[in-house]
Amino acid sequence: MINVSDPRVVHVLQGQVVATAAPSQILTTILGSCISACMRDPVLRLGGMNHFLLPGDDPRKSNSIRYGARSMEELINALLRKGAARDRLEVWLFGGADLLRMGTGVGEANCAFATAFVETEGFSLRGTDLGGSRGRRVRFCPYTGEISIRLMQTAPVERRVAPRMSCPDVELF
C-alpha cells in the first residue's frame, strides 16, 4: 500500500507530466477514461509519467497538456532533458475505461490515440492495460521499472431524485 504522505510518492494529476531519476521516487495516478503513459530509459534508470484527458491535439491550439499529443511530447522532452536516449525509451500505457458505460467513446479514442502515437514514434511498447469499465490505480517506479496496477471497485451509480416539494397555492393579482 502506498503511503500518500511519503515524500517519495508523487501523485500525477490530470494534465500533469513528471520525470525523475531519483531511485526512491514512486509515481502514482488514478485513471478512468484518461490515459497515463509510463516511459523509462532502462540504461539510465530514469523515467516519467503523464496523465492526459483527451486524445489528439487541442483544436483551439492552446497547446493544452490535457490533450494526448502535447502530453506525450512533454513527457518525451522531459526525459530527453534528463539525458534519456529516445531509441531506448520503453512505454507502458494504462487507462481508457468507459466507467459509466455511457458509450461516449472518450476512453476508446484515448486508447487508440495512445497506441497509435507509440507505434508511429517507434517506441518499444512494453505493456498495456487499456479499456474496460473499471478505473485503475497505477504505481510506477522509474528507477526499477516496477509497475503495479490495481483495478478500482465498481460501484452502482446512485441516482438521487429530488423530493417532491409542496408549494403553497399561488395567488395571481
> Do the beta carbons of residue 25 and residue 8 sit within 8 Å?
yes
Q: Could you tell me the pLDDT band of residue 155, with boundaries at 50, 70 and 90?
A: low
pLDDT in tens, 50-105: 999 989 887 777 667 789 999 999 999 999 999 999 999 999 999 999 987 666 78
Closest alpha carbon to 132 in 106, 93, 98: 98
Ordered domains of the chain (ranges, CATH): 9-151 (3.30.1330.200)
- Alpha carbon distance 19, 140 (integer Å): 11
**Cβ contacts of 65 within 8 Å, gap of 6 or more:** 15, 16, 17, 50, 52, 71, 74
Phi, psi of 62 (to 5 degrees): -90, 5
Residue type, 42: P
Q: Count the alpha carbons within 13 Å of 153 in the hemisphere toward its beta carbon.
A: 3
Paired sense of beta strands 26-31 and 136-141, if any: antiparallel
Q: Which residue has the cell 491550439?
A: 61
pLDDT in tens, 102-133: 667 899 999 999 999 999 999 999 999 999 99
Distance of CA 127 to the CA centre of its chain: 15
Rg, Å, the chain Cα set: 20
Q: Indicate if the pLDDT at residue 170 is higher than 80.
A: no
The side-by-side arrangement of strands in the sheet containing 136-141 is 9-11, 26-31, 136-141, 146-151
